[in-house]
């Protein structure tokens, strides 16, 4: 993404329709012809009146006109059906292409940028906003063309009859348009607020439903419902405001467009009196003229829907602006590269997180990173994993800047496992092989054994073929984390980052994992963001972080001797690990 500005929604929409412009042009062209056939029955009725007034061969003439009437109706419905077929085929092709494109660009977008969207907002953009395009392409394109072509053909016919009749039929249009513009002034901002409220409501609803177990556990149903009620009230208020603003204008608009009979009839009677118009012509003009503006009701209604669709396109546009990563020539790196952070600074929006951070991860060694919550440890993991880019400074692998590597090479060099372990819907084997689809079963089981996952997977009735749902709902937090670690190990990257990836594991499992990891992968460059400090006593290097800065670095014993922050963290955990309920606490609690 090279520019923070985005093109207009119309330009984006036309770009989306570019590949299907042929079928769409054919659809609107067929619609225009169908609109002409829709007016043909009025002409045939006019011919019937002329025939009856002439009194010659009335029966044969009416029978012939009835046949043409049937042909006109069949042709009209057939042409409209064909137009809708073309527009629907184009719509579904555009939707399929757009969803595939969005899926690709979601991968290209930085994680820090995506985190600015809630899950409800992303769902609304990818599902609802994209689905709205189907309405515009498949339905509105045909309906708008029909609603505009009909009045245009009638106006041209009235102009052919007498230009004064055409002016009389269209006399109310400027006033109706001015009224609509007056009442719709400022509605763009209201529609924007409405769409924002819909996104907020979607996100709040998703959060409310997901957190029902937590709310019940902590008796927070009332508080959470109040938050949900607040969002619903805001949504209702915006809907009410939009309705109150649009109903008066819409009422005046519909009355004015239906009032052209008061201009057509007097003008037509005067023209008949002047001998400039015949009585059958006047009847036809009244039949066509009084109904010619009614299709504009649909145009006005569709205009508000199109405004909403363009709002959705405006929200989709930032995702389409992300470009694919550069394809660079693979850099020559050592089999076990070292890592260096050189004067790295990073901020989320306007909130600084890392300040001029510099350190090195020795190749083939275990480096632990510790510090209080909010010190910036997870941000370091995101930067090294390529999930975000620093605003200042350079991250190097074996002396080569991370920015000079393409995405494929970076992913092959650095794997990241976090405490947020996401499992896709499918089998455990499919989830594990996500990092290395060509891995055989023996390799998968080896990685699972190191991650301490093989035992519990083998104990499942279907073993590695056990199906799991989104977020691994059938597995515990610790089991999901072990699957995520095994998946990272299968990537077989020389640099492995564990961002509190064993936070949910018990102490015995955690110790067994680190022992197996060291034995099975002795040459990996490891960065462990530690949850429990006792697991890093044997680390080759410990980095102590606080407030986005490196406070100290060294081995465990050295830091205990000289670093006050590390000593305080170690003491706090030691007290927590050794704490038990004493006799006095039991007596106070009434336990005997």
* 410 and 352 together in one domain: yes
* 531 and 423 together in one domain: yes
Answer whether 386's CB lies under 8 Å from 438's CB.
no
Residue 187 covered by a domain: no
Sheet holding 525-529, edge to edge: 414-418, 495-499, 525-529, 366-370, 541-546, 549-554
CA distance 277 to 190: 49
Residue 249 covered by a domain: no
Angle at 14 (CA atoms; ends 12, 20), nearest 5 degrees: 130
pLDDT at position 542? 92
CA distance 268 to 446: 92
Residue 326 covered by a domain: no
* 402 and 303 together in one domain: no
Question: Domain ends where: 270, 287, 320?
Answer: 320
CATH code for the domain of 531: 3.40.50.300
Answer whether 90's CB lies under 8 Å from 26's CB.
no
CATH code for the domain of 54: 1.20.1560.10
* 41 and 122 together in one domain: yes
Cβ partners under 8 Å of residue 140, min gap 6: 302, 305, 306, 309
Question: Domain ends where: 268, 291, 320?
Answer: 320
Question: What is the domain extent for residue 448?
Answer: 339-577
Residue 190 covered by a domain: no
Cβ partners under 8 Å of residue 381, min gap 6: 416, 418, 497, 499, 527, 529
Q: Which two tokens stand for residue 431?
A: 């989830």
Residue 496 covered by a domain: yes
* 54 and 147 together in one domain: yes
pLDDT at position 508? 75
- Integer CA distances (angstroms), 143 to 35, 140, 295, 353, 379, in order: 10, 5, 9, 53, 51
Q: Which two tokens stand for residue 578?
A: 């050794």
pLDDT at position 327? 56
Residue 218 covered by a domain: no
CA distance 360 to 553: 10
* 37 and 92 together in one domain: yes
CA distance 382 to 416: 8
Residue 445 covered by a domain: yes
* 314 and 453 together in one domain: no
Question: Domain ends where: 270, 290, 320?
Answer: 320
Answer whether 421's CB lies under 8 Å from 468's CB.
no
pTM of the full predicted structure? 0.64
* 311 and 413 together in one domain: no
- Crossing angle (nearest 10°) for helices 163-170 and 261-273: 160
Answer whether 315's CB lies under 8 Å from 117's CB.
no
Handedness of CA 404, 409, 414, 419 (dihedral sign): positive
Q: Which two tokens stand for residue 403?
A: 């920015």
* 345 and 313 together in one domain: no
Nearest to 546 by CA among 397, 372, 411, 290: 372
Going by their DSSP bridges, the two strands 400-401 and 414-418 should be labelled as unpaired
CA distance 299 to 305: 10
Residue 205 covered by a domain: no
* 17 and 137 together in one domain: yes
CA distance 279 to 271: 10
pLDDT at position 549? 92
Residue 504, CA atoms < 13 Å, CB-side half-sphere = 17
* 303 and 397 together in one domain: no
Q: Which helix (H) or strand (E) holds 344?
A: strand 339-348
How many folded domains does the chain comprise?
2
CA distance 171 to 264: 9
Sheet holding 339-348, edge to edge: 351-361, 339-348, 392-397, 400-401
* 449 and 347 together in one domain: yes
CA distance 240 to 234: 10
pLDDT tens per residue across all 592 residues of the chain: 444 456 788 888 888 888 888 899 999 999 999 988 888 888 888 788 777 777 777 777 788 888 888 988 999 999 999 999 999 999 999 888 888 888 888 877 776 677 777 776 787 788 888 888 888 888 888 988 888 888 888 888 888 888 888 888 888 888 877 777 776 666 666 666 776 777 677 767 766 776 666 555 555 555 556 777 777 888 787 777 777 777 777 777 778 777 888 888 888 889 888 888 888 888 888 888 887 788 877 777 777 777 778 888 888 888 888 877 665 555 556 566 789 999 999 988 778 899 999 999 999 889 999 988 888 888 898 888 887 888 899 998 888 888 887 777 788 888 888 877 778 888 889 888 888 888 888 999 999 998 888 888 888 888 888 888 654 447 777 788 888 888 888 888 889 998 877 766 667 777 788 888 888 888 888 899 877 777 778 888 999 999 899 999 999 899 999 999 988 888 887 665 554 444 444 444 444 4
**DSSP track, 222-273:** HHHHHHHHHHHHHHHHHHHHHHHHHHHHHHHHHHHHT-THHHHHHHHHHHHH
CA distance 155 to 288: 9
């Amino acid at each position: 993404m090279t520019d923070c500005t985005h093109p207009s929604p119309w330009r984006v929409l036309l770009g989306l329709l570019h590949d299907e412009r042929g079928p769409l042009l054919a659809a609107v062209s067929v619609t225009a012809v169908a609109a002409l056939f829709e007016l043909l029955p009025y002409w045939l009725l006019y011919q019937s009146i002329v025939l009856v007034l002439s009194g010659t061969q009335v029966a044969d003439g009416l029978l012939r006109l009835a046949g043409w009437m049937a042909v006109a109706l069949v042709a009209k419905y057939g042409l409209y059906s064909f137009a809708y077929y073309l527009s629907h085929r184009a719509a579904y092709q555009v939707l399929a292409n757009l969803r595939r494109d969005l899926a690709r660009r979601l991968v290209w977008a930085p994680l820090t940028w995506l985190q600015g969207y809630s899950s409800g907002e992303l769902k609304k953009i990818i599902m609802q906003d994209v689905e709205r395009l189907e309405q515009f392409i498949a339905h509105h394109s045909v309906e708008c063309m029909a609603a505009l072509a009909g009045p245009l053909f009638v106006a041209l016919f009235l102009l052919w009859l007498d230009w004064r009749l055409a002016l009389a039929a269209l006399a109310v249009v400027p006033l109706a348009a001015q009224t609509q513009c007056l009442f719709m002034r400022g509605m763009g901002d209201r529609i924007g607020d409405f769409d924002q409220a819909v996104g907020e409501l979607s996100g709040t609803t998703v959060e409310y439903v997901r957190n029902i177990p937590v709310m019940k556990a902590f008796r927070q149903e009332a508080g959470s419902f109040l938050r949900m009620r607040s969002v619903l009230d805001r949504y209702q208020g915006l809907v009410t405001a939009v309705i109150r603003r649009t109903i008066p204008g819409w009422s005046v608009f519909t009355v004015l467009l239906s009032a052209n009979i008061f201009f057509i009839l007097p003008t037509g009677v005067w023209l008949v009196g002047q001998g400039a118009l015949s009585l059958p012509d006047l009847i036809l003009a009244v039949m066509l003229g009084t109904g010619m503006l009614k299709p504009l009701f649909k145009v006005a209604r569709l205009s508000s829907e199109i405004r909403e669709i363009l709002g959705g396109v405006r929200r989709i546009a930032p995702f389409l602006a992300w470009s694919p990563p550069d394809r660079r020539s693979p850099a020559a790196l050592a089999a076990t590269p070292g890592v260096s952070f050189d004067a790295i600074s990073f901020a989320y929006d306007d909130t600084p997180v890392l300040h001029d951070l510099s350190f090195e991860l020795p190749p083939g060694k275990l480096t632990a990173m510790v510090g209080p919550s909010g010190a910036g440890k997870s941000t370091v993991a995101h930067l090294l994993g390529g999930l975000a880019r620093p605003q200042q400074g350079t991250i190097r692998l074996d002396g080569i800047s991370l920015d000079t590597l393409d995405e494929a090479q970076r992913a092959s060099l650095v794997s990241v496992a976090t405490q947020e372990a996401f499992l896709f819907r499918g089998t455990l084997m499919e989830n594990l092989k996500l990092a290395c689809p060509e891995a055989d079963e023996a390799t998968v089981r080896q990685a699972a054994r190191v991650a301490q996952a093989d035992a519990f997977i083998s104990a499942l009735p279907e073993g590695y073929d056990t199906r799991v749902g989104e977020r691994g709902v059938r597995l515990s937090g610790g089991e999901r984390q072990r699957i995520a670690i095994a998946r990272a190990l299968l990537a077989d990257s020389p640099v492995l980052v564990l961002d509190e990836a064993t936070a949910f594991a018990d102490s015995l499992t955690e110790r067994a994992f680190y022992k197996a990891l060291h034995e099975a992968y002795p040459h990996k460059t490891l960065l462990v963001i530690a949850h429990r400090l006792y697991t890093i006593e044997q680390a080759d290097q410990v980095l102590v972080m606080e407030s986005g800065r490196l406070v100290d670095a060294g081995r465990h014993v050295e830091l205990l001797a000289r670093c006050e922050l590390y000593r305080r963290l170690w003491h706090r955990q030691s007290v927590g690990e050794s704490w038990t309920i004493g006799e006095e606490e039991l007596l106070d609690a009434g336990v005997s």
